[in-house]
Amino acid sequence: MEIKPNAAVCGTVTENPLISYTSTGRTYTRFAITVPTYRDYEKKILENREVIMIAFDDTAEFCCKYYEKGDMINCAGRYQHRRHYDEDTGEERREQVFRIDTIAFRNKSGGDRT
């Protein structure tokens, strides 16, 4: 059964994506973007929310090759919730990451690149 994307995120890349490898040798990248939160009636930005993005395999290599800090990114994918234990304190940590399935280029003014 194929899992379909259930969310879309558009924001600004805050750090250059870098290629990393899992213990099994799978390629991935992890980076943050800022996503503005607007007021509906005033069209003013209330705050910028940081979203942690993760991509695997060809999508990860694409992100690292074509995106850098300050670029606009438009992605479809799904949110994943992760739990892990901090090795130093032994406390359980929870985080929410956005797993990228597909990407569309955006230019600095917000329009699609062709």
Q: Would you say the pTM of this structure is higher than 0.75?
A: no
State the burial class of residue 46 (Cβ atoms within 10 Å of its Cβ: 0-12, 13-18, 19+): exposed
Give CA–CA dist 51/33, Å, rounded: 5
Query: By the 8 A CB rule, do 69 and 16 touch?
Result: yes
Q: Which CATH class is domain 7-105?
A: mainly beta
Q: Which amino acid is at 111?
A: G
So what's the pLDDT on residue 106?
A: 65
So what's the pLDDT on residue 58?
A: 92
> Mean pLDDT of residues grouped by 10 in the chain (114 residues)?
69 91 93 82 75 92 90 89 79 85 68 43
So what's the pLDDT on residue 96?
A: 84
Question: To which residue do tokens 């509906």 refer?
Answer: 40
So what's the pLDDT on residue 110?
A: 46
So what's the pLDDT on residue 83?
A: 80
So what's the pLDDT on residue 113?
A: 43
So what's the pLDDT on residue 81?
A: 81
